[in-house]
Amino acid sequence: MFELTNKTAVVTGAGSGIGKAVALTFARQGATVHVLDVHAQQAEQTVAEIREAGGQAFVQQCDVTKQQDVVELFQQIGTINILVNSAGISHIGKADTTTEADFERVYQVNVKGVYNCLYAAIPVMKRNGGGAILNMGSIAAVVGLPDRFAYSMSKGAVYAMTLSVAKDYLHDNIRCNSISPARVHTPFVDGFLAKNYPGQEAEMFQKLSKTQPIGRMGTPDEISKLILYLCSDEASFITGNDYPIDGGFIKLNN
Residue 207's beta-bridge partner residues? none
From 27, 35, 34, select the one nearest 2 (Cα to Cα).
Answer: 27
Closest C-alpha among 11, 246, 10 to residue 137: 246
Dihedral angle computed from the Cα positions of residues 122, 108, 60 and 178, in that order, rounded to the nearest 10 degrees: -50
Q: Is 243 a catalytic residue?
A: no
Beta bridge partners of 178: 135, 242
CA dihedral (56, 40, 15, 71) in degrees, to 10, reads -80
From 107, 151, 159, 197, active-site residue: 151
Question: Sign of the C-alpha dihedral, residues 87, 120, 125, 140?
Answer: positive
Active site residues: 151
